A = this chain, B = another copy of it.
Protein backbone atom coordinates (compact mmCIF):
# COMPACT_ATOMS: atom_id res chain seq x y z
CA UNK A 1 0.00 0.00 0.00
CA UNK A 2 1.53 3.31 -1.10
CA UNK A 3 0.70 5.82 1.58
CA UNK A 4 1.69 8.72 -0.64
CA UNK A 5 -0.80 7.61 -3.33
CA UNK A 6 -3.59 9.97 -4.30
CA UNK A 7 -6.14 7.19 -4.03
CA UNK A 8 -5.17 6.29 -0.46
CA UNK A 9 -5.21 9.90 0.71
CA UNK A 10 -8.36 10.89 -1.18
CA UNK A 11 -10.21 8.01 0.40
CA UNK A 12 -9.36 9.27 3.90
CA UNK A 13 -10.34 12.80 2.85
CA UNK A 14 -13.69 11.55 1.60
CA UNK A 15 -14.71 9.49 4.64
CA UNK A 16 -12.93 10.98 7.63
CA UNK A 17 -12.63 14.37 9.29
CA UNK A 18 -10.50 15.89 12.04
CA UNK A 19 -12.85 15.41 15.00
CA UNK A 20 -13.46 11.69 14.49
CA UNK A 21 -9.71 11.11 14.14
CA UNK A 22 -9.09 13.08 17.32
CA UNK A 23 -11.62 10.92 19.18
CA UNK A 24 -10.01 7.71 18.03
CA UNK A 25 -6.53 9.01 18.91
CA UNK A 26 -7.88 9.94 22.37
CA UNK A 27 -9.24 6.40 22.87
CA UNK A 28 -5.85 5.01 21.89
CA UNK A 29 -4.17 7.20 24.52
CA UNK A 30 -2.73 9.80 22.11
CA UNK A 31 -4.30 12.89 23.62
CA UNK A 32 -1.97 15.62 22.30
CA UNK A 33 -2.43 15.36 18.53
CA UNK A 34 -4.64 18.42 17.91
CA UNK A 35 -3.06 21.73 16.91
CA UNK A 36 -3.91 25.02 18.60
CA UNK A 37 -7.26 26.47 17.44
CA UNK A 38 -5.69 29.50 15.78
CA UNK A 39 -4.41 27.39 12.87
CA UNK A 40 -7.32 28.11 10.50
CA UNK A 41 -8.19 27.46 6.86
CA UNK A 42 -7.85 30.42 4.48
CA UNK A 43 -11.33 29.73 3.11
CA UNK A 44 -14.37 27.80 4.44
CA UNK A 45 -14.41 24.20 3.32
CA UNK A 46 -10.66 23.89 2.79
CA UNK A 47 -9.56 20.35 3.61
CA UNK A 48 -6.19 18.69 3.31
CA UNK A 49 -5.02 15.11 3.89
CA UNK A 50 -1.40 14.16 3.26
CA UNK A 51 2.00 13.27 4.63
CA UNK A 52 3.84 15.92 6.61
CA UNK A 53 6.94 17.54 5.07
CA UNK A 54 8.05 19.51 8.14
CA UNK A 55 9.91 22.80 8.45
CA UNK A 56 10.69 25.21 11.27
CA UNK A 57 11.56 28.89 10.93
CA UNK A 58 12.81 31.53 13.33
CA UNK A 59 12.58 35.30 13.32
CA UNK A 60 15.77 36.97 12.14
CA UNK A 61 16.87 40.59 12.20
CA UNK A 62 19.06 40.60 9.12
CA UNK A 63 19.29 38.67 5.86
CA UNK A 64 21.18 35.37 6.37
CA UNK A 65 24.20 34.57 4.14
CA UNK A 66 22.20 32.06 2.07
CA UNK A 67 18.61 33.20 2.34
CA UNK A 68 15.83 30.61 1.93
CA UNK A 69 18.33 27.74 1.56
CA UNK A 70 16.46 25.10 3.60
CA UNK A 71 13.04 26.31 2.46
CA UNK A 72 14.10 25.81 -1.15
CA UNK A 73 15.62 22.41 -0.33
CA UNK A 74 12.29 21.30 1.11
CA UNK A 75 10.12 22.69 -1.67
CA UNK A 76 12.26 21.62 -4.60
CA UNK A 77 12.41 18.09 -3.16
CA UNK A 78 8.72 17.86 -2.36
CA UNK A 79 7.08 14.56 -3.22
CA UNK A 80 3.50 14.04 -4.45
CA UNK A 81 1.21 13.24 -1.51
CA UNK A 82 3.02 15.55 0.86
CA UNK A 83 1.71 18.51 2.82
CA UNK A 84 4.04 21.30 3.92
CA UNK A 85 3.68 21.54 7.72
CA UNK A 86 5.60 24.34 9.37
CA UNK A 87 5.92 26.80 12.20
CA UNK A 88 7.57 30.10 12.91
CA UNK A 89 8.91 30.21 16.41
CA UNK A 90 9.21 33.72 17.76
CA UNK A 91 7.26 36.46 19.46
CA UNK A 92 3.64 37.18 18.68
CA UNK A 93 4.75 40.61 17.49
CA UNK A 94 6.03 39.26 14.20
CA UNK A 95 4.10 40.40 11.16
CA UNK A 96 5.86 38.53 8.38
CA UNK A 97 4.14 35.90 6.25
CA UNK A 98 5.86 32.52 5.84
CA UNK A 99 3.86 31.58 2.76
CA UNK A 100 2.20 33.03 -0.32
CA UNK A 101 0.72 32.47 -3.73
CA UNK A 102 3.93 31.72 -5.63
CA UNK A 103 4.95 29.03 -3.17
CA UNK A 104 1.43 27.61 -3.41
CA UNK A 105 1.66 27.49 -7.19
CA UNK A 106 5.00 25.71 -6.96
CA UNK A 107 3.80 23.25 -4.29
CA UNK A 108 0.74 22.27 -6.32
CA UNK A 109 2.91 21.80 -9.40
CA UNK A 110 5.13 19.39 -7.44
CA UNK A 111 2.12 17.34 -6.32
CA UNK A 112 1.88 18.82 -2.83
CA UNK A 113 -1.65 18.55 -1.41
CA UNK A 114 -1.72 21.63 0.82
CA UNK A 115 -0.06 23.56 3.61
CA UNK A 116 -0.54 23.74 7.40
CA UNK A 117 1.28 26.56 9.17
CA UNK A 118 1.57 27.76 12.72
CA UNK A 119 2.50 31.04 11.05
CA UNK A 120 1.06 33.78 8.84
CA UNK A 121 0.40 33.55 5.12
CA UNK A 122 -0.17 36.25 2.48
CA UNK A 123 -1.66 36.49 -1.01
CA UNK A 124 -4.91 35.08 0.34
CA UNK A 125 -6.87 36.25 -2.71
CA UNK A 126 -4.61 34.25 -5.06
CA UNK A 127 -4.54 31.15 -2.87
CA UNK A 128 -8.30 31.17 -2.40
CA UNK A 129 -8.68 31.63 -6.15
CA UNK A 130 -6.57 28.51 -6.77
CA UNK A 131 -8.61 26.59 -4.16
CA UNK A 132 -5.34 25.40 -2.69
CA UNK A 133 -5.93 24.33 0.94
CA UNK A 134 -3.65 26.51 3.10
CA UNK A 135 -4.07 26.70 6.89
CA UNK A 136 -2.42 29.55 8.80
CA UNK A 137 -2.75 31.59 12.00
CA UNK A 138 -3.47 34.79 10.07
CA UNK A 139 -2.56 36.96 7.13
CA UNK A 140 -0.08 39.74 6.57
CA UNK A 141 1.22 41.51 3.47
CA UNK A 142 4.79 41.54 4.84
CA UNK A 143 7.30 39.23 3.16
CA UNK A 144 9.55 36.79 5.04
CA UNK A 145 12.77 38.07 3.44
CA UNK A 146 15.14 39.18 6.20
CA UNK A 147 12.41 38.53 8.78
CA UNK A 148 12.05 34.74 8.91
CA UNK A 149 14.43 31.93 8.01
CA UNK A 150 13.88 28.16 7.97
CA UNK A 151 16.40 26.46 10.30
CA UNK A 152 15.30 22.82 10.16
CA UNK A 153 13.44 20.59 7.69
CA UNK A 154 12.17 17.02 7.67
CA UNK A 155 12.84 16.40 11.36
CA UNK A 156 10.43 16.04 14.29
CA UNK A 157 9.29 19.47 15.50
CA UNK A 158 6.69 21.17 17.68
CA UNK A 159 4.13 22.70 15.27
CA UNK A 160 0.90 24.25 16.53
CA UNK A 161 1.58 22.62 19.88
CA UNK A 162 1.91 19.09 18.49
CA UNK A 163 5.12 17.14 18.01
CA UNK A 164 5.02 16.43 14.25
CA UNK A 165 7.38 13.94 12.59
CA UNK A 166 8.17 14.12 8.90
CA UNK A 167 5.88 11.60 7.23
CA UNK A 168 3.06 11.72 9.77
CA UNK A 169 -0.48 11.77 8.41
CA UNK A 170 -1.97 15.25 8.63
CA UNK A 171 -5.72 15.90 8.38
CA UNK A 172 -6.94 19.50 8.49
CA UNK A 173 -10.44 20.82 7.88
CA UNK A 174 -12.83 23.53 9.15
CA UNK A 175 -12.49 22.26 12.74
CA UNK A 176 -8.71 22.35 12.82
CA UNK A 177 -5.70 20.12 12.31
CA UNK A 178 -4.99 16.61 13.62
CA UNK A 179 -1.69 14.76 13.34
CA UNK A 180 -1.73 10.94 13.18
CA UNK A 181 1.70 9.43 13.96
CA UNK A 182 2.74 7.20 11.05
CA UNK A 183 3.41 4.22 13.35
CA UNK A 184 -0.24 3.93 14.42
CA UNK A 185 -1.88 5.21 11.26
CA UNK A 186 -3.41 1.91 10.14
CA UNK A 187 -5.26 1.15 13.35
CA UNK A 188 -6.37 4.78 13.83
CA UNK A 189 -7.75 5.09 10.30
CA UNK A 190 -9.54 1.74 10.60
CA UNK A 191 -11.17 2.65 13.94
CA UNK A 192 -12.19 6.06 12.65
CA UNK A 193 -13.96 4.55 9.66
CA UNK A 194 -15.97 2.37 12.06
CA UNK A 195 -16.78 5.24 14.40
CA UNK A 196 -18.18 7.37 11.60
CA UNK A 197 -21.03 4.96 10.99
CA UNK A 198 -21.86 4.87 14.73
CA UNK A 199 -22.25 8.64 14.73
CA UNK A 200 -24.71 8.48 11.87
CA UNK A 201 -26.99 6.26 13.97
CA UNK A 202 -26.72 8.51 17.03
CA UNK A 203 -27.62 11.54 14.98
CA UNK A 204 -30.81 9.89 13.74
CA UNK A 205 -31.84 8.86 17.24
CA UNK A 206 -31.17 12.32 18.67
CA UNK A 207 -33.06 13.97 15.82
CA UNK A 208 -36.15 12.07 16.96
CA UNK A 209 -35.84 13.61 20.44
CA UNK A 210 -34.01 10.90 22.38
CA UNK A 211 -32.44 11.88 25.67
CA UNK A 212 -28.70 12.51 25.63
CA UNK A 213 -28.38 10.25 28.66
CA UNK A 214 -29.72 7.17 26.87
CA UNK A 215 -27.57 7.79 23.84
CA UNK A 216 -24.43 8.25 25.93
CA UNK A 217 -25.20 5.03 27.86
CA UNK A 218 -25.59 3.16 24.57
CA UNK A 219 -22.75 4.62 22.47
CA UNK A 220 -20.36 6.00 25.09
CA UNK A 221 -19.82 9.23 23.18
CA UNK A 222 -21.34 12.71 22.89
Q: Which residues of A contact B (CB under 8 A)?
A: 17-19, 21-23, 26, 31, 34-38, 40, 45, 56, 58-62, 64, 68, 71-72, 75-76, 89-93, 95, 97, 100-103, 105-106, 109-110, 120, 122-125, 128, 138-146, 151-152, 155-158, 161, 163-164, 173-178, 199, 202-203, 206-213, 215-216, 221-222
Contact = CB atoms under 8 A, between A and B. Distances in A.
Given A34-B141, A102-B202, A125-B173, 13 more contacts: A19-B143, A23-B143, A26-B142, A26-B145, A31-B146, A56-B58, A58-B151, A76-B212, A76-B213, A109-B207, A123-B175, A128-B174, A141-B175
B207 A105 contact: yes
Contacts of A61: 156-158, 163-164
State how many copies of this chain the complex holds.
Answer: 6
State the main secondary structure of chain A at its contact with B.
Answer: mixed
Q: Considering the complex of A and B, which 3 residue pairs feature the smallest CB-CB distances, nearest first?
A: A61-B163, A18-B141, A89-B89
A125 B216 contact: no
A151 to B, nearest CB: 5
A176 B93 contact: no
A37 B95 contact: yes
B157 A19 contact: no
A208 to B, nearest CB: 7
Contacts of A145: 26, 221-222
Contacts of A215: 102, 106
Contact of A211 (B76, B103, B142, B144): B76
